[in-house]
Structure 1
Amino acid sequence: MANDVIQLQLSGMSCAGCAKSIERALQSCDGVQSVNVNFASEVAAVEGNNLKTAQLLAAVKDAGYHAELLDHESDQSDPRDAAQQKQLVKFIAAAILSLPLLYTMFGHFSWTSGIPVPDLLMNPWLQLLLATPVQFIMGWQFYRGSYHALRNGAANMDVLVALGTSAAYFYSIYLAWFAPDYHPHEGLYFETSAVLITLILLGKWFEARAKGRSSSAIQKLLQLQPEKALRELENGDTEEVAVSELKVGDIIQVRPGQAVPTDGKVLSGESAIDESMLTGESMPVAKHQGDNVMGGTFNTTGFVRVEVQQVGAQTALAKIIRVVEQAQNSKAPIQRLADRVASIFVPAVLVIAALTMLIWIVFLAPGDWRAAFEATVAVLVIACPCALGLATPTSIMAGSGRAAQAGILFKRSEILERTQAIDTIVFDKTGTLTEGKPKLTNFSLLSQALSQATVASLVQALEKQSEHPLAQAIVKGLDAHLNADDSPDERPEVRQFQAHKGKGVSASLSYHNESFKVMVGSLRLLREHEVVVNENAEQKLSELQEQGKTAMAIAIANELVAYVAVADTVRDTSKHALKTLRTRGLRLLMLTGDNNKTAAAIAKELGLDDVIAEVLPEDKADHVKQLQAKGTTVAMVGDGINDAPALAVADIGIAMGTGTDVAIEAADIALMRADLNGIAQALEMSRLTVRNIRQNLFWAFAYNVVGIPIAASGLLAPWLAGGAMALSSVSVVLNALRLQRVKLSDR
C-alpha cells in the first residue's frame, strides 16, 4: 500500500535547530514513518500511513511554530510572504528607535569625541525608553522561540540572541538604577541590545527574501498553468471555463499567443509550440494533427483544436512540480555533517561564552567586568547555526530548480549530489540512442525495366496491406518517390495479398491497366519463387545488413528490379552528446537486445567503448550489476518498460522523458526531451551544485571558527558581531543563488 505524503508550509523557524525540533514533534504523531523539514524552503514533508493533518498541525503548534497545509491547487497566498512583510515592518520600527541610540556610540570612543552628542540622548532613562520596545516588542520573537526550544529540550539561535541582548539590556538597567553617579556613556549597553536586535531583524528579512528567490523554481512552474480555457460546445461554439473544470475528452481551442491549458492531442490545425519552460528546448516545436501537447507550454503562431487527455495531478506540469518538490524537500547525504554540528552548536556556544567570561575576569583583565561582559555578549551574538542549516538546502533548491528549467528532473537531492561521481554510462539502443521508429534509408533500382515512380507506387500499395512497423516505414518513406501526376483513382489496386511469415509479402496489382506480380522481402523469399538474384544485388544487400539496416529486395514479374533498406536511425543529437561525454573521461557502453551485427554497426557509428548485444530484457539488470561489481559507478539510460529493472539497479537511472511512465518512475533522473545532451547537462549541474554546497559549508564553518575566537578576544564590539552574524546567513543564500544563473548549453 502506498504511503501518504503530506507537505506543511512552516513559519517561525530561526535556525536548523528549529527544523530538528519540528522533525521530532512530527515523528511523534500516529502513522508517521519519516519526516524531513527543509529549513531553507520552510516545508515539512511527512510520509506515513493514515496521517491526520489536524494532528500534524497541532504537533507543530505545540512545538512553538506555525504550519499550514501546502496545497498548490488552491488560491491561498503563500504565508511566507506575510511573514516576510511582518519582518520588514519590525525592522523599520526597530531602526527608528535604535538610530538615536546608535548615535550615542559616538560618545563612547576617544577618536569620535569631537562629534557632538546631546546630553538628552545620553540620559539613561531616555535610552531605556527607546530600547524597551525594541527589546520586548520587536524582539519578542526571540524570547518566544527560546521558550519553546528550551521547553522541548533543545537550544536554538533564539536562545543565543535572547541571552546576549537581555544581558546587555538588564545590565544597563542595573547600572542606571544602582550607580546614579556613574557616567552612563561609559557603561550602559542599551544601544548594544537595540542595535543587535535591529541588525538581526534586518538579516532575517534579507534571508527571507533570498530564500524566497532560491525556491522560485516551483513558483515559476505554477505560474505556467493558465487559469482559463476555451472549451468547445456540441454546437461548435466555445465557452470560457476554469482549467480545473476540464475533463478528459473535452475539446479545447488554443489560439496564437495563448498558453496550452492542459495535456492533450491535436485534433486539427498546425502550430509551433514553445516548450522551453518544461523541456528546455530552445526552439518552438512544430505540432500537427495527432501530436501531443503539454499544459503550460505556449502556442506561438497557429490555431489548434486539442482533445484533453490529462487533467489536474496527471498532467506533465503537475508531475514536474511534484518531482522538483521531492528533490528540494529531501535531504542530501552531505548535509548530515552540518546537521550533527547544528545539534550541539548552541550548547557548545553557551559553554564557550561562560569560559570567555571566566577567562577575562580571572586571567585577562581581573576585575574589569565591562571588558568581560562585552566579549561574552559578542560570543553569544556572533555564533549562529543558521548559515550551517542553509548551506545545503539552498544550493539543492537552486540547483534542482535550474535543472528543471533545462528539462532535467532530479528525483531526490541525493541524486543531484551523486550524479557527478559516475564513471560509466550504459545506454539502451532503441528509443535512446536511436529514434525508436524505423525509417526508410535506401531505395534504389537494380533494373531499368520500370521507372522509379512506378516501382515506388507498386511497393507502397503492397506494403499498405501490412501492419508491420517496417512496412509502415516503407510506406511513409516512399511518399517522396511517387508519381505526382497520379490521381487517387489511379493508385494501384491490390489483389491476392499474401504475407510470408518472416520472409516478406507478395500480391498481384493492377496499375495503369497493367497487371504486376510484386514481391518485397528477403532474398530467400525471391529464390523460393525462382527469381534470379545476381551477385551484385546480393552484395549490395549484404553491405546494408552490415550497416545495421534491414534490407529487402523487390521483385516485379519475377525479376529483381530494386531494393529498399529500413533502419532505426540514430538521433541527430546522439553523436554530439556522446562526444561531449567522452571528453569527460566517461566509459560509454550500449546494452541492447538487437543482434550483434546491427548493434556493432550502431556502436561503431557512435564511437562507443563497448557493446553488449542480444541481451534479454530480464538480463539487462544483471549486466549492470556485473559492471558495478567491478567497482564502477554506473548510470543506465533507457526509455522502455524492459529498461525499468536496469534503471532501478543502476547507481543512477536516467529515463528519456519521451519513454514509458514505468521507465520514468523507475529512474532517478528524467530528461523531458529526447536529447542525450541532457546527460552532460545533468552531470554539470550536479558538479556545480556539489561545489556550491562545499563552498557554503566551508564559509559557514570558517565564519564560526574564526569569528568566535575574535569575539572572545574582545576585538569585536557586540553590535558588529550581530551584523556579522546576520551577514553570514545572507551570504550563504546569495552564493547558492548563483546556481540559478548557470548557462547550460543544449548543443
Structure 2
Amino acid sequence: MTTTKRFWFALILSLPMLANMVLMPFGWTLPGGAWLQFVLTTLVMLISARPFWQSAWASFTKHHANMDTLVAIGTMTAYLYSIYALLTQQAVFFESAAFVVVFVLLGQVFEERMRHNASTAIEKLVDLQAKEAEVWRDEQFVALPLADVVIGDLIRVKPGQKIAVDGVITEGTSTVDESMVTGESMPVTKKIGDAVIGSTINKAGTFTFKAEKVGADTVLAQIVDLVKKAQNSHAPIQKLTDQVSNIFVPVVLIIAILTFLVWYLLIGAPLAQALIFAVAVVVIACPCALGLATPTALMVGTGRSAKMGILIKNGEVLEAANDVQTVVFDKTGTITVGQPVVTDIIGDQKTVLTLAAALEQSSEHPLAQAVLAKAKREKIAVPAAHGFQAIVGQGVSGQVKGQQIFVGSERLLVQQKLTMATNLQAQLQQLQDEAKTVVIVANQQEVLGLIAIQDAPKPTSQAALAELKAQGLKTVMLTGDNQRVAAAIAKEVGIDQVIANVLPQDKADQVQQLQETGRVAFVGDGINDAPALTVADVGIAMGSGTDIAIESGGIVLMRNDLRDVGKALTLSKKTFNRIKLNLFWAFIYNVLGIPVAAGLFYAIGLTLSPELAGLAMAFSSLSVVTSSMLLNKTKITAKSTGSL
C-alpha cells in the first residue's frame, strides 16, 4: 500500500475518535465506546503503521536505531497502555496512537509530493525525446519507433520535426533549434558533415542524417542519467547527519524513560499522565526533518541547475564547490574560441606555409588545423612528409622534399640548438605581445620563417571572470602557450595569475600545487585536461569538450558559456547553505519541542499531547521540504556570494 493510501486509511478510521474527543463534553459518545476505539486503532496499527514497525525491527536487528524507531515505540506504547486501561476500565488513549500515525504519514505525503515536484526536471527532459523517426528501410523512408533505430540508419527530418537521435548530416541543409542543450535561442545552420543532437528541433529545410548514437548513448539520455545520479547521491554532510541520528535516537529514548520515571515516581503523577509525557517526547523528537534536510535540497538544487544547462553529477561535487577559493582555466577552447586562424606569415610566405602544412597535415593539434586551413585558402599544393614525429610540448619534425624540417615553439629551437636572426626575434616578440601564438619553421641550419596564429577570447570570457572576482574567487590560467601570449590573453579577459609553458602531463601537478592554499576548481575541455579535471576538488568540463573531459568533470556546462562557471559555483553554494539551514531548523524543532513534550512547562499550562507532537513533527518535515523548494526562487546573480 502506498504512503498516500496508508494516510487516508488511517485518517478515515481516526475521524470517529476525533469526533468523540470533540463532542464528549456535549454528552455525545462514540457507539461502542472504548471497544470501538480499540478496533479502529488496531486496524490503523496493523495496516498504516506496520511499515514503521518493520523498519524499526530491521534497524534493531542490526543494532541501530532510526527515525521509524521513535514512531514505532511511541505509538506502540500508547496503544499497549490503552489496551491495559481498557481491560482495567480506566481512561484510554487510543486516539493518541492513531493520530500520531496519521500526522507522521501526513508529513511523508507532503514529502513525496515535494519530491515529485522537485524531480520534474527529469520528466521534462525525458518528454523532450522524439517518439519515432523516418528511417530508410527497404528503399523507402518509413516511420519507426525510436527503439527500432540502430547506429548507421539514415533518418530523414522534415521542418518542425524533432531530430530522433545523435548523428551527422549526409544530405541537405537546415537550421536547428538547439536551445534544449545549449541554451542559445538562435537556430544554428547545419550542412553536410555537421553533427546534430537528438531531441533538438529542425526549423527550416529537410535533411538526412546518419545515426551515430542511439538509446542510452545520446546526449539527452546522458543528461537524464547524470541528473538522476546527482539527485540520488549523498553529500558528505549527509554522513554526519546519519551519525547524529544514530546517537540522537537512543538519547531521546533515554530522555523519554527519564521523563516517565520523574513524573510517575518522583512527582507522583498518574500512570497514564506519565506515559503521555513520555510518548510525546518520543514522537516530537522523531528526526524526520533531519533526514529530509540534505536529500530534498540536493534534489531541488541539481534539478534547477539541469534546467540552466549545468549538470552537477553528485552531492560530493556540490559540497566541494562550496569552499572553492581558486578557479583555474585551460586557455584553448575554454577561455578562447578554440578555432585559431593564421594572421601573419614572416619570411617567404609560400615556402614557409608549404613546409609547415606538409608536416601539420599529420598532426591533430588545433594550431595545425589553422595552418592547413590557410594553405587551403591560398591553394597551395601540400607535398608529402616522411618520418613525421610529434615532439610533446615542442612541435613536430619530418622530411619534406629531402630536407629535415622542424615546426614548433621556441622550446623546439633550444632542443635542436638553432638560433634565430635578430630581426626575426624582434618580430616574434611583437607578435607575441599582440597575444598571437607563433609557430617557428626551420630546417637543420636556420629559421626559415614565422607563422602567427591567434585564438581570440570568447565574447563571454571577460564577463565570466568578472563574475568570479565579484564572488571573491582567485582566477588562474594554465596553458602550454608561452608566457608573453598567455599574459596578453589574461590581461584582455581579466585573469589574476598566469601559469604558462605547461606541458600537458604537468597540468595536474600545477593544480595540486595550487591546492596547497585552498580548494581548487579546474575548467577545461580537452583530452589533455582530463588529469587536471580529476585531480581538482571540482572539475568543470565544457559541454563542447571531449568525451573523456566530460567524464572526468564533476560539473558539465552544456551551454559552453563560461559565465555558467560562476552560476554553477553560486548555485552549489546556495544549495549547500540551504542544507545547513535545513539541518539547523530540524534540530531547533527537536530542541524546543522536547522540553515542552516532557512537561517542563506543565505548571503554566503549556503541554503537548502525543497527537499534537505528531502534528508538530509533520509540520517540521513540511517546513524543511518547503525550505528546499524555495531554492527554485533564489536569484543566481553575478555578485552573489552564495548566502541566503
Paired residues of 1:106 and 1:117 also in contact (CA < 8 A)? no
Deviations 1:267-324 (A, max 9, x none): 2344443334334445444433322222233334443322111122322223223333
Say if 2:277 is the partner of 1:375: yes
Say if 2:518 is the partner of 1:626: no
Tell me which residue corresponds to 2:478. 591
Deviation at 1:407, TM superposition (A): 2.2
CA distance in 1, matches of 2:171, 2:101: 64
CA distance in 2, matches of 1:171, 1:143: 17
Between stretches 736-745 and 376-385, larger displacement belongs to 736-745
Tell me which residue corresponds to 1:242. 145
* TM-score calculated relative to the size of structure 2: 0.81
Say if 2:60 is the partner of 1:150: yes
Tell me which residue corresponds to 1:7. none
Between stretches 538-547 and 338-347, larger displacement belongs to 538-547
- Matched to 1:721, the amino acid is A
CA distance in 2, matches of 1:232, 1:621: 47
Match of 1:570, SS state, is coil
CA distance in 2, matches of 1:614, 1:460: 25
Deviation at 1:406, TM superposition (A): 2.0
Deviations 1:402-436 (A, max 9, x none): 22222222233111111131122221111111111
Tell me which residue corresponds to 1:726. 618
- Matched to 2:292, the amino acid is L
Tell me which residue corresponds to 2:97. 193
- Matched to 2:307, the amino acid is Q
- Matched to 1:724, the amino acid is A
Tell me which residue corresponds to 1:469. 369
Say if 2:534 is the partner of 1:648: yes
- Matched to 2:271, the amino acid is W
Paired residues of 1:214 and 1:736 also in contact (CA < 8 A)? no
CA distance in 2, matches of 1:497, 1:354: 91
Deviation at 1:375, TM superposition (A): 0.9
Paired residues of 2:520 and 2:538 also in contact (CA < 8 A)? yes
The one of 130, 133, 142 aligned to 2:40:
130
Deviation at 1:551, TM superposition (A): 8.3
CA distance in 2, matches of 1:322, 1:249: 24
Tell me which residue corresponds to 1:97. 13
CA distance in 2, matches of 1:626, 1:405: 35
Deviation at 1:654, TM superposition (A): 1.8
Match of 1:675, SS state, is coil
Match of 1:615, SS state, is coil
- Matched to 1:398, the amino acid is V
Paired residues of 1:121 and 1:127 also in contact (CA < 8 A)? no
Deviations 1:352-377 (A, max 9, x none): 1111111111333x142232122112
Deviation at 1:746, TM superposition (A): 10
Q: Unaligned 5+ residue runs, structure 1?
A: 1-82, 444-454, 479-491, 504-520, 522-534, 553-562
Q: Unaligned 5+ residue runs, structure 2?
A: 362-367, 389-394, 397-406, 408-422, 440-449, 640-644
* Percent of aligned pairs with the same amino acid: 47
- Matched to 1:433, the amino acid is I
Say if 2:630 is the partner of 1:738: yes
Deviations 1:216-264 (A, max 9, x none): 33333333333322212363x2112222222222111223333322111
Residues 583 and 367 from structure 1, CA distance in 2 versus in 1: closer, same or farther, beyond 3 angstroms? closer
Deviation at 1:265, TM superposition (A): 1.4
Tell me which residue corresponds to 2:501. 614
Deviation at 1:442, TM superposition (A): 8.2
* TM-score calculated relative to the size of structure 1: 0.70
Say if 2:438 is the partner of 1:438: no
Say if 2:312 is the partner of 1:402: no
Match of 2:144, SS state, is strand
Which has the higher relative contact order, 1 or 2, with Cα contacts under 8 A spaced 6 or more apart? 2
Tell me which residue corresponds to 1:232. 136
CA distance in 2, matches of 1:595, 1:322: 40
CA distance in 2, matches of 1:471, 1:152: 67
Residues 287 and 741 from structure 1, CA distance in 2 versus in 1: closer, same or farther, beyond 3 angstroms? farther
CA distance in 2, matches of 1:351, 1:496: 86
The one of 86, 93, 97 aligned to 1:176:
86
- Matched to 1:469, the amino acid is Q
Between stretches 223-232 and 712-721, larger displacement belongs to 223-232
Tell me which residue corresponds to 2:568. 682
Deviation at 1:699, TM superposition (A): 1.1
Residues 733 and 279 from structure 1, CA distance in 2 versus in 1: closer, same or farther, beyond 3 angstroms? farther
Matches within 5 A, 1:474-553: 474=374, 544-549=431-436
Match of 1:435, SS state, is coil
CA distance in 2, matches of 1:495, 1:87: 74
Deviation at 1:119, TM superposition (A): 3.4
Deviation at 1:691, TM superposition (A): 0.7
Match of 1:582, SS state, is helix
Say if 2:321 is the partner of 1:419: yes
- Matched to 1:154, the amino acid is H
Paired residues of 1:157 and 1:385 also in contact (CA < 8 A)? yes
Match of 2:337, SS state, is strand
Residues 441 and 178 from structure 1, CA distance in 2 versus in 1: closer, same or farther, beyond 3 angstroms? same
Paired residues of 2:166 and 2:195 also in contact (CA < 8 A)? yes
- Matched to 1:657, the amino acid is G
Match of 1:307, SS state, is strand
CA distance in 2, matches of 1:646, 1:145: 44
